[in-house]
Every structure is written in structure tokens, then in C-alpha cells.
Amino acid sequence: MPFFGMVAGRRRLVAALVFLSCAIGLEGIFAQGAPPVIDNTGSVENPQPTWETQKKARTFVLGVPAPRGQITDRHGRPLAQTRLSYNLAVSFPAPLDWPDKRILDFARQQITLASGLLQRDISVSDESILNHYKNRGVLPLDIVEDLQPRELGVVQRGVTPNLILRQTYVRFYPNGPLAGHIIGYTGREAPLSIRPIENRDLIFSDSQGREGLEQVFDNELRGQVGELYVTYDANGAKMSERMARPPVPGYNVITTLDEEFQRICENVLSEKCERGAIVVVEVATGEIVAMASHPGFNPNEFVPVVKPAVFDAYNNDEAAPLVPRAYRSAYPPGSTFKVFVGLAALASGAITLRDKFNCPTSFSVGNHTFANWKKTGAGNLNFVEALTQSCNTWFYQVALKTGAAPIIDYSNRLGLGKRTGIPLRSENSGNIPTDDYMLKVHNRKIKSGDVANMAIGQGDVLVTPLQMAQAMGAIATGGVLHQTRLVKQVQGLDNKVIAAYSNRIREQIPIDPNINAALREAMQDVVYDGQGTAHRAQVKGVRVAGKTGTAQWGPTDNQRTAAWFAGFLPAENPEFAFAAVYEGKPNDNTIHGGSHAAPMISAAFSKIYDVIKIRKGESVASEGEPDNVAEDSSSVDESN
């Protein structure tokens, strides 16, 4: 079904059509005054423009780029639009037969006038001026692009027949940095050629998707170039100009994102961490409603072209703001991985829900001793108790009893170690180590020590926040892994659906109801039981199920910590699956999943459910303590 039923959405689209039909401003495309003389060696059907003066009149054709389609959230709210922009340009009088000195003197005079009007320096090289005059002088020479509103008002009062305004299209991101990694940005496809003008040349440069959805759906967003016919008489005077075929706007890309949810998650990240990510997936459909990475960037700074100083500032920033951590960064998952290890052990029959294993302070595998994060033993524990307390030594034993194969199999079936398939380039596949991988990287097969590391989500295990949210969605549904989706559909200006990406099941994992119930019980106890590690994840009025994780990666002298909290809610009837990562500074050992990642989820969903209530017409209670808070509300942090 179309997603532009909203009145506001239709008004935006009608505005785009009006822009096409009347706002191109043909007098702004060409110089005001007499244009240069054009040769007439062809017909309207086959025009061949040259710079030589002939006796006959002629008509030639130029292309008018189309405005790109919109990118919107799931409700039709715009995330990327096309707006009208004004360039300040120099128009050269006809005939184009001046010597170089006169050309440069004239251009410099106009540039000086423009600098005075705008009160800023304008830099245009002599080479650029001469190349344009000799090869493309029929078109104005842009000297300032994308005038600001204040500048436009000043220039409009000071234009002359030779210093004119030209209208062009520019991409605009109305929410600034919101979802910038996902939406991406556009750039000028290529500068207008310096060769002699030819038929079908564009009157201004078209834009091209460079990153994110702008890049992947570039063909759909572009639209169809229009045709402008211009006729000159034998003396070089413009006789007529006609839009023979108006440009057709590009298709609109409707994402699964919820603008309000996305903003909430980005705000929480900016308030609570320097680097991190939050992903929220709709459990019933696999649709991504929020996928936030922090720090981010403002795609408006890349349009129409990014200034070198701006790009260098982003590129040289140690926090890597151009990297979308939610799907392009993979981290060791730490103890969040115990959910999947437990599922593999129980579903494969290696252990039962009644089996108990000791939880000592350490456990030896070969010549290596693996420590528990707790300094005291916890006695004999069953699965629910072990996951609640996140006992490392319990999971070492269970993983070794289970073996690597079932853990690898269930991890893969949950979508870990492989790309989710969202339409964004460079998605990280993560890694679930296999014998082939270990032979290639470490020149050996998986050993017992590797299985022990795998048990607590360390070693060579790597997972993206998006993969983690996807896997938790499968746990929430009792084994149904939906195809994760970021785009709902592509549709035309008339609301006709061009392409739809419907809900489909990617994997059906058989999970015994008793095992599923135990997983839900344990993940709720992580949040609400006195022995749990995620008390600070609680949300007022909504019961949360999840698992914390704290994992280290990188060289020993510069080790970083990834603090995780992942799960789903409401626990009894899940609507959303989520994953949050707090990326700590090097050698900071105070970072833990319970103390840093869990509060981000609490903050995000407290606000998300307020939005949901408002949409349902329900009142929103004032802020207070979460419901069902454990008596001992101090969060217990695990180191793995």
C-alpha cells in the first residue's frame, strides 16, 4: 500500500511538481540579453551546435536534470528531499570572439562586483574562465554555488544583465544529522565538461548518491532528464526556448524507520556515550524502526560538494563519525552470546533444564585457567540461574560438553556471522569461527580453548549490533527469524508502488516450548532478579528481557571495551528486539554492560513507549521509578 496518504506528504509532492513546471526559471538558465550566435547545420530532430556564426537560425537541445525522489520514514515524513538552489553566475555577451585579456578583464570585473555584494572572497582561476568562455560560453559561468537566503536577498537587488542568478536542484536533509549514516548523501556527478557544448549536455550538474540509501537506490531516485529546446536567429538573438519534455521526478524510497524512534535513540547515545550504537527491530516483521550510530555527521555538509576542510575534520576524527557502528562495526559480544550458547546446548540435547553445573571462581582447560568474573563461587546452578548470574565457569563447562558444531550451527541459523542483507553497502558480516576460518587465520582447527572463549563471546567471535538485534528477535518469536528490512517500498509520485519488500521468514528454528520459556525466564531475571546484571535496564510499565555483556578487544596495551545489552520487550508479548553497545575508551576497565549499555535501553524505551501512548491517545505519566524494580536495585556488572 502507498505511504503518502498524509496531507502533508501530498503537499510536499505537489510542491515538487510545481517546481518542475514553473520554478526552473528559463530566464535564469540562460543569460539575460543577447546570447551567442549558434550554427544551424541540423534540424530540431538532429541539432548540431557549434560556435561558428552562420546565416541560418537553428535550434539545439540541452538536458534539464530531474529532482531526486524523496527518502522518507515509514510514516511518509521526509528524511531526504530536493530543494531549489540559486547559483550566482557570469553571463558573457555575444559574440564570443574576445581575446583572452578582454575575457579575463570582463570576468574579473563581474567577480569583483559579486564579492562586494556578498562581502566575501570568490576564487575562480583564469584557466577555468577561459575554458568555459571558449567551449561553453553559451551557458553562464557559475562563480558561487548555493547562495544562502541572506545572500540571495542581497544579490537579487544587485543583479545585472551580466551577473545573474541560476536555479538548480540541491539535495536537502531536513533533519540534519538524523539517520545520516543510513540515508547517506549525494555529490555532484561530475563537473560540466570543458569540451565544446554538445546536444544533450546538462544545463547544470546532476547529483549522484555517494553513500547509504542515496547510493544504493541512486537509479530509482534520479528521475528522467528533461529536454529544453532553444532557438537563435541569424544574428545570434534568442528567438524562443521551449521545454519540450519536462524532467520527471525520481521515485520515492519509503524506509522502515520511525523518525521519532530514530531521534530518541540518537539523542540517548549522544547523552550517554561518546561512541556506540542502538538498533531496534520490530519483532513481528523484522523491520528496523531505529538504527542509530554515534558519533554521526550532517549530510548537508556534503552537498552540493563537501569542502576539503570539512571532510578532513570528519576523516581525521579519532571517534570515526563517518563509520556507522550499528552495522559496519563488529564487536566481541561478550556474555550476550551466552543466550545462544545456552540455546545450542539445550536444543542439541547436550544438557537439560534440570542439569546443574558448578560455578567456581576458575576453570582450567588444558594448560590455561579461565577465571569467572565473580570473586566467589556460586555453587551448583541450572541454566536459568547461570544465565541470570552470567557465570562464566558454568558456560565453559557447558560449551565444552556441547562442542563447537552445535554452537556454530545455531549461531548461523540466528543470522550471526553473516550479513543481514539490508540495502546498505559495506555491511560487516561479523564472524563465527569455524575450522576453515581457524585454519586460514591461525593455521589450526578449533581447540578446546577456542570453545571456552566462544562460550563467553570472546576470542574470534564478532557480531554487529544489527545482527544481535536480529538474533534477539528470533529468540523473542520462539525461533522465527524474519528477513531484516530497512526499506518498505519504492513508489512513484502518483503513489503507485514500483517495488515492495514484504515480510518473509528467513529461517524457522525449532525451539522446544520449555526451552523457550526458560530463555524468557532467565532473560527477565537478568533485569529483575537480585542476582541479575541489568537492573538499570528497567522501563516503567513494560517488562524487559535481556542479557548484558562486557567484552574486550584490541592489543593489550590499547584494549577497548564493548559493553552490551540486548534482548526484547515486552517480555510476555514481544514487540521490539534491541541491541545497544557502549564503546569504551582504551584501557578503561570501568565499562560494563549493566552500568553503561543497560541504562541506554531504559532511557530509549521509556521515551519510545511515551510516543506509542501518545499515538494511541493515552496520557503519559510523569517520570518516576520503573515498575517491578528489584529490591536490590544496584546493578551487578560482569566482566565478560
Say if residue 228 is in the same domain as residue 278.
no
- Asked, for residue 626, whether it belongs to a domain, the answer is no
In this structure, which long-range contacts are made by residues 622-628, counting pairs with CB atoms below 8 Å and at least 24 apart in sequence?
Answer: 624/540, 625/540, 626/538, 626/539, 626/540, 626/602, 627/538, 627/540, 627/541, 627/542, 627/543, 628/528, 628/538, 628/543
Residue 408, pLDDT > 60, answer yes
Say if residue 234 is in the same domain as residue 290.
no
Percent over 90 (pLDDT), the chain: 72
C-alpha cell recorded at residue 169: 536542484
CB atoms within 10 A of CB 625: 9
| Dist. CA 593–CA 122, nearest whole Å | 52
- Asked, for residue 634, whether it belongs to a domain, the answer is no
CA distance readout (Å), 625 to 280, 474, 580, 607, 619 = 23, 30, 22, 14, 17
- Asked, for residue 510, whether it belongs to a domain, the answer is yes
Kindly indicate the confidence band of residue 185, based on its pLDDT and cuts at 50, 70 and 90: very high
Return the bridge partners of 331, or none: 463
| Dist. CA 639–CA 372, nearest whole Å | 9
**Nearest Cα residue to 534 out of 417, 638, 383:** 638
- Asked, for residue 628, whether it belongs to a domain, the answer is no
Half-sphere exposure of 252 (CA within 13 A, CB side): 29
Asked if 382 and 389 touch (Cβ cutoff 8 Å), the reply is no
Q: Rounded mean pLDDT of 304-308?
A: 87
CATH number of the domain to which 537 belongs: 3.40.710.10
Say if residue 296 is in the same domain as residue 190.
no
CATH number of the domain to which 198 belongs: 3.90.1310.10
Domain that includes residue 389, residue range: 259-311+322-615
- Asked, for residue 184, whether it belongs to a domain, the answer is yes
Say if residue 409 is in the same domain as residue 474.
yes
pLDDT at 501: 95
C-alpha cell recorded at residue 256: 522502515
pLDDT digits (tens, 9 = 90+) for 517-549: 999 999 999 999 999 999 999 999 999 999 999
- Asked, for residue 52, whether it belongs to a domain, the answer is yes
Question: Whose grid coordinates read 565473580?
Answer: 374
Q: What's the total number of domains in the chain?
A: 2
pLDDT at 232: 63
pLDDT at 636: 56
pLDDT digits (tens, 9 = 90+) for 427-448: 999 999 999 999 999 999 999 9
**Nearest Cα residue to 213 out of 189, 186, 184:** 184
Is the model more confident about 46 or about 543? 543
Helix/strand/coil percentages in the chain, nearest 5: 35, 20, 45
Asked if 281 and 469 touch (Cβ cutoff 8 Å), the reply is yes
**Nearest Cα residue to 370 out of 460, 433, 463, 448:** 448
Sort strands 163-172 and 185-188 into parallel, antiparallel or unpaired: unpaired
pLDDT at 30: 32
CB atoms within 10 A of CB 600: 26
| Dist. CA 26–CA 18, nearest whole Å | 14
What is the pTM assigned to this prediction?
0.89
Q: Rounded mean pLDDT of 469-473?
A: 98
pLDDT at 159: 84
Is the model more confident about 55 or about 65? 65
Residue 180, pLDDT > 50, answer yes
Is the model more confident about 363 or about 54? 363
Residue 27, pLDDT > 50, answer no
Say if residue 239 is in the same domain as residue 278.
no
pLDDT at 629: 46
The secondary structure element, H or E, covering residue 80 is strand 78-90
CA distance readout (Å), 539 to 3, 47, 472, 550, 626 = 31, 69, 18, 21, 5
Is the model more confident about 538 or about 154? 538
pLDDT at 368: 85
Maximum pairwise Cα distance, the chain: 102
Say if residue 591 is in the same domain as residue 478.
yes
Give one DSSP letter per residue of 524-575, joined into a string: HHHHHSTT-S-GGG-BTTB--EEEEEEEEES-GGG-EEEEEEEEEESSSS--
Say if residue 264 is in the same domain as residue 251.
no
Kindly indicate the confidence band of residue 10, based on its pLDDT and cuts at 50, 70 and 90: very low
Say if residue 39 is in the same domain as residue 142.
yes
Which of 221, 238, 255 is the last residue before a domain boundary?
Answer: 255
- Asked, for residue 640, whether it belongs to a domain, the answer is no
Cα 607 to chain centroid, rounded: 22
Q: Report the mean per-residue pLDDT for the chain.
A: 88
Say if residue 93 is in the same domain as residue 206.
yes
pLDDT at 631: 40
Q: How many residues does the chain have?
A: 640
The secondary structure element, H or E, covering residue 505 is strand 505-508
Residue 537 has phi, psi (to 5 degrees) of -95, -5
pLDDT digits (tens, 9 = 90+) for 480-496: 999 999 999 999 988 89
Asked if 581 and 465 touch (Cβ cutoff 8 Å), the reply is yes
pLDDT at 558: 86
Say if residue 249 is in the same domain as residue 266.
no
Task: Please return the burial class of 101, using the count of CB atoms within 10 Å of its CB with bins 0-12, 13-18 and 19+.
Answer: exposed
pLDDT digits (tens, 9 = 90+) for 490-515: 999 888 999 999 999 999 999 999 99
3-class DSSP string for 431-490: ECCCHHHHHHHHCCCCCHHHHHHHHCCCCCCEECHHHHHHHHHHHHCCCEEECCECEEEE
Say if residue 53 is in the same domain as residue 187.
yes
Half-sphere exposure of 97 (CA within 13 A, CB side): 9
Coil, strand or helix at 352: coil
Q: What is the dihedral of CA 120, 123, 129, 132, to 10 degrees?
A: -90
| Dist. CA 304–CA 192, nearest whole Å | 14
pLDDT at 556: 83
Kindly indicate the confidence band of residue 15, based on its pLDDT and cuts at 50, 70 and 90: very low
Sign of the torsion angle spanned by Cα atoms 79, 81, 83, 87 = positive
Say if residue 161 is in the same domain as residue 292.
no
Residue 56, pLDDT > 60, answer no
Q: Rounded mean pLDDT of 325-346?
A: 98
Q: Rounded mean pLDDT of 247-275?
A: 97
Return the bridge partners of 313, or none: none
- Asked, for residue 624, whether it belongs to a domain, the answer is no
